[in-house]
Amino acid sequence: MNTNQPNDTSDEARRFQDQLYRTMPAHKKFEMVCNAYETGKQLAMAGLRLRNPDASEETIRNLWIRQHLGNELYEQVYGTAK
């Protein structure tokens, strides 16, 4: 078994998945990456809303951006006021 392979995926399933990815057009792969990124963003923002129930959507967005960029880059881009 490949050590990089998830334990819940059989070798046969992995080979099938690899074949699908090899034959998939680049634009479809890019679309999948964008969708996965957006899903992750929405999950992270949902977690921020749970931890900050009184925060406005703007505050949640800024918290996510800071979390996503890190403090140093966030402050370079947005300043320290937010």
CA angle 35, 41, 45 (to 5 degrees): 145
Number of domains in the chain: 1
CA 39, 44, 47, 52 dihedral sign is negative
Q: Is 19 a domain residue?
A: no
pLDDT band at 9; cut points 50, 70, 90: confident
Rounded to whole angstroms, the Cα distance separating 81 from 9 reads 47
- 18-45 pLDDT, tens per residue? 999 999 999 999 999 999 999 999 999 9
Q: Is 49 a domain residue?
A: yes
Specify the pTM: 0.71
Give residue 51's domain range.
Answer: 25-78
